[in-house]
Structure 1
């Protein structure tokens, strides 16, 4: 009996993630131009596509290492770029942009250190990290809703929630991966 050929759709989640990466440029341009309603629309499309690619990958078994990396890169590029531009435009607190960027810088440097000292790293976002990303998306949408003159959640409380989750998940990553690195180096 011949083996079933792989589905031609198996790369769809990766393609969706790539579209999300490509959406960062027009979203940033719209934010810079203060075209809040159009930026809101594209951020909402990016948010829906984030859920869709994850669902497709898990539901049909189309997960891949590349897909995990693309998904994380798309999320980070979008969220960091948006928060930095909003802070630059004085529509989000600068301190929040520094916390969001600082957390991701610490995680990136930690991953680089792991790669250099130990070897390949398999990205595994924690539940706390997923909550942090979700809170950042909700915060971004709330700010854009308010700027587009739609009723929105109070973004100040959300800013503090994002900051708390960034700090908590950053500390969690540092402690968890430091412990794993210590064990890996001790065993080698």
Structure 2
């Protein structure tokens, strides 16, 4: 029983890796105009995102690797599918550019902080989670529009505006948090060096 439970502790990371591997096939299905299959896989990926987090927290299976893999898989999935939606003519290029720039700033900032100041344990903020949720809703809405054509324009436009606001707010929030932590660490290091004889 203990051995089986020990094996299961890797299940959250396995689900995260599976979600990461699903990104390109889903994007390819979008470009190929296979919206039903793309939407089915995208929803499955979204369910796996909630499931791996629940399992990790419920059974204490959180790992540092999982903390890094989970947001990476989310970003890869959203960015890949948004690339495909832009190429398909469904997503405005300026919104795709904003998504790509924001993710590049977050990943670059996280790596810079991790290697220059202190180990960084990935912990999405509330704004970050809301941004991901809004992006997932936008993707599902656009895919459903491709399938049925029933989605009203104001809903798509509204989600685009919400995503834009959240992308900007969460990006600024991440930069503010990390720069603040970096300043505190640098100040502490300077104070420590001044106290040394």
Q: Give ranges in structure 1 of 5+ residues lacking alignment.
A: none
Alpha carbon RMSD of aligned pairs, Å? Answer: 1.5
1:10 correspondence with 2:9: yes
User: Structure 1 residue 119: deviation in Å?
Assistant: 3.1
Structure having the higher helix fraction is: 2
State the partner residue of 1:173: 174
TM-score, scaled to structure 2: 0.89
Cα displacement string for residues 95-118 of structure 1 (whole angstroms, at most 9, x for unaligned residues): 111111111111112112212321
Cα displacement string for residues 101-147 of structure 1 (whole angstroms, at most 9, x for unaligned residues): 11111111211221232132111110010000011111110100111
- Counterpart CA distance in 1 for 2:52 and 2:139 is 20
1:158 correspondence with 2:159: yes
State the partner residue of 1:79: 78
- Counterpart CA distance in 1 for 2:158 and 2:29 is 25
- Counterpart CA distance in 1 for 2:49 and 2:149 is 23
- Counterpart CA distance in 1 for 2:54 and 2:168 is 28
Cα displacement string for residues 60-100 of structure 1 (whole angstroms, at most 9, x for unaligned residues): 11111111112111101000111122112211111111111
- Counterpart CA distance in 2 for 1:66 and 1:155 is 35
Partner of 1:148, secondary structure, is helix
User: Structure 1 residue 150: deviation in Å?
Assistant: 6.1
Say which one has the larger Rg. 2
Cα displacement string for residues 37-74 of structure 1 (whole angstroms, at most 9, x for unaligned residues): 11011101001111111111111111111111121111
1:61 correspondence with 2:76: no
State the partner residue of 1:109: 108
User: Structure 1 residue 151: deviation in Å?
Assistant: 4.1
State the partner residue of 2:194: none
State the partner residue of 2:118: 119
State the partner residue of 1:145: 144
Partner of 1:8, secondary structure, is helix
- Counterpart CA distance in 2 for 1:12 and 1:112 is 26
User: Structure 1 residue 152: deviation in Å?
Assistant: 4.1
Q: Give ranges in structure 2 of 5+ residues lacking alignment.
A: 190-197
| Equivalence map 1:21-100=2 (5 Å) | 21-100=20-99
TM-score, scaled to structure 1: 0.93
1:187 correspondence with 2:182: no
